[in-house]
Structure 1
């Protein structure tokens, strides 16, 4: 059994039901669709976490389905920015405490605004990173949105 991550402990303190799912990860294939195939969920239920920087607000995070591309204009609009851009990979760990391929929207070192694609609330089970490569958390989409105080919108 995988050891609990900060993200898991956060869910435990909030008494949120979840299950952990381990998989073999590969440095050259950290793509969310690949993860979905390995954990056995449809792409639309596996949410990838992206870290961006807005021109007005600074760092923001978003979770979107594995099979989707982020609509930068939609995220800019909902987050109060004129434009947003992806944070360079080299900066992800210093900003979040996590490394690429293992960025969880839970237990981030500093709390940033989180924007989740509205489709998450349609699923009893979604998957997010547990905060390390090779480990996913399955939990209820609506509960995930509630405990993170995320704003939801059509982001893809």
Structure 2
């Protein structure tokens, strides 16, 4: 998988904080763009279908509130985040889904395009352990209609994540 970034001016795959973070880290990745349908009921399942990728390999980035700050859970798009399991993995009593406006402010991305990469400030992050069973995974590239494909090991390294069984 070669590092791919379209020349500036190409609206299909512009530079984003996520691709900039990948480039700076020297990580090999592939940009995977698709035509986003604003009426799609699930951004993640839409991405998997549009890109022809098994939904288990397409990961969604969900921000949660720990009561002491925000954190990130990354799970396959065809699964749900298990809030109790994530709380356990983060060593906190409980977590709730973050307010969308707070998630956008913290990450610098819009809901539906929140990437775990290149966020404004690093947050405690947990990746669903099953991601390690794939050669590559896809996460949001920083906007709706743009994913990046990389190894799960690189994702974990760049986000300083831990892994745990956090999906149901």
Matched, 1:31 2:56: no
User: Which residue in 2 is equivalent to 1:80?
Assistant: 91
User: Which residue in 1 is equivalent to 2:9?
Assistant: none
Structure 2: how far apart are the matches of 1:79 and 1:12?
29
User: Which residue in 2 is equivalent to 1:6?
Assistant: 17
Structure 2: how far apart are the matches of 1:148 and 1:96?
13
Structure 1: how far apart are the matches of 2:105 and 2:164?
27
Structure 2: how far apart are the matches of 1:58 and 1:42?
33
- After superposition, residues 81-100 of structure 1 pair within 5 angstroms as 81-100=92-111
Q: Which runs of 5+ in 2 are unaligned?
A: 1-5, 7-12
Matched residue count: 155
8 A contact 1:32–1:48 mirrored in 2: yes
Alignment TM-score, normalising by the size of structure 2: 0.88
Matched, 1:137 2:124: no
8 A contact 1:98–1:132 mirrored in 2: yes
Which stretches of structure 1, 4 residues or longer, exceed 4 Å deviation after superposition? none
CA positional deviation for 1:148: 1.7
User: Which residue in 1 is equivalent to 2:3?
Assistant: none
Structure 2: how far apart are the matches of 1:26 and 1:132?
13
Alignment TM-score, normalising by the size of structure 1: 0.94
CA positional deviation for 1:26: 2.1
Q: Which runs of 5+ in 1 are unaligned?
A: none
Matched, 1:50 2:68: no
